[in-house]
């Protein structure tokens, strides 16, 4: 079974704090993704990584950065948390080669972040 | 610009009846589509996929239909069960690993 784990299910941080969200996958997937889910807006891609130390901006990268030092681990960093970053954060991973229909993404359980 | 749209935020269906969830897309480069189901407090789980070379794909109670000319796809669940109550997301991609997700439709199956 593919497993994508996220370091915290719930997190409460103060405005201006630096926040780290960690994600680990055990399927040797090349690709890893960070999304945020907000009511009425669906899943929006923040950043993705297709290899170690490689990253690309998604649709809403402002205010975020990422780090991928090892293949199985992908971190999302909020440099200075703001209240508009209160959201559900979802990490996902997928294979990187072959049939695109096999690029289905496996998601972690999510981290609900509240910034006060 | 929302490339993938799910115009119905919610849908209620009686148990045993058909549930039809709709999805429209604007990007004509999309070649692959996925449907995900999401329960509260869990990550989305993959449900079914379809390639643009097909117009239908079936997996048990779930069937996805694709109308390329209309840029429209739909997910049919027959028969609907209370356990199908969840938020459903469609996603479109163009042969890479990056998919664009819709806003989701909350399905409630009434017992």
What is the rounded CA–CA span in Å between residue B49 and residue B62?
Answer: 10
Q: What is the mean pLDDT of residues A75-98?
A: 92
DSSP line for A28-85: --SEEEEEEEETTTEEEEEEEEEETTEEEE-S--TTEEEEEEETTEEEEEESS--GGG
CB contact (8 A) between residue B43 and residue A107: yes
The helix/strand/coil state of B87 is: strand
CB atoms within 10 A of CB A15: 11
Among the partner residues A30, A41, A48, nearest to B98 by beta-carbon distance: A48
Residues of A in Cβ contact (< 8 Å) with B6: 42
Instruction: Quote the longest CA-to-CA distance of chain A.
Output: 44
Share of chain B above pLDDT 90, in %: 82
pLDDT tens sequence across B37-81: 999 888 999 999 998 899 999 999 999 999 999 999 999 999 999
Among the partner residues A42, A104, A108, nearest to B46 by beta-carbon distance: A104
Please provide the size of chain A in residues.
116
What is the rounded CA–CA span in Å between residue A68 and residue A66?
Answer: 7
CB contact (8 A) between residue B43 and residue A96: no
Residue B109 phi/psi, 5-degree rounding, is: -105, 120
Task: Say which DSSP state A104 is in.
Answer: P
- Identify the residue with better confidence: A100 or A42: A42
């Amino acid at each position: 079974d593919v497993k994508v784990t996220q370091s915290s299910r719930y997190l409460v941080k103060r405005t201006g704090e630096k926040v780290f969200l960690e994600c680990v996958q055990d399927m040797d997937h090349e690709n890893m993704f960070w999304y945020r889910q907000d009511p009425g807006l669906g899943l929006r891609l923040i950043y993705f990584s297709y290899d170690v130390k490689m990253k690309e901006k998604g649709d809403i990268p402002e205010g975020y950065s990422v780090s991928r030092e090892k293949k199985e681990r992908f971190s999302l960093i909020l440099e200075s948390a703001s209240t508009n970053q209160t959201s559900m954060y979802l990490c996902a991973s997928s294979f990187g080669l072959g049939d695109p229909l096999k690029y289905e993404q496996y998601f972690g359980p999510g981290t609900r972040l509240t910034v006060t | 610009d929302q490339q993938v749209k799910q115009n119905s935020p919610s849908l209620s269906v009686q148990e045993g009846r058909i549930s039809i969830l709709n999805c429209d897309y604007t990007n004509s480069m999309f070649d692959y589509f996925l449907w995900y189901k999401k329960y509260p407090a869990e990550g989305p789980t993959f449900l079914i996929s379809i390639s643009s070379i097909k117009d239908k794909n079936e997996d048990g109670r779930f069937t996805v239909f694709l109308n390329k000319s209309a840029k429209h796809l739909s997910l049919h669940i027959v028969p609907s069960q209370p356990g199908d109550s969840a938020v459903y997301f469609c996603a479109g991609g163009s042969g890479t690993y990056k998919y664009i997700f819709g806003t989701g439709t909350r399905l409630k199956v009434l017992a």
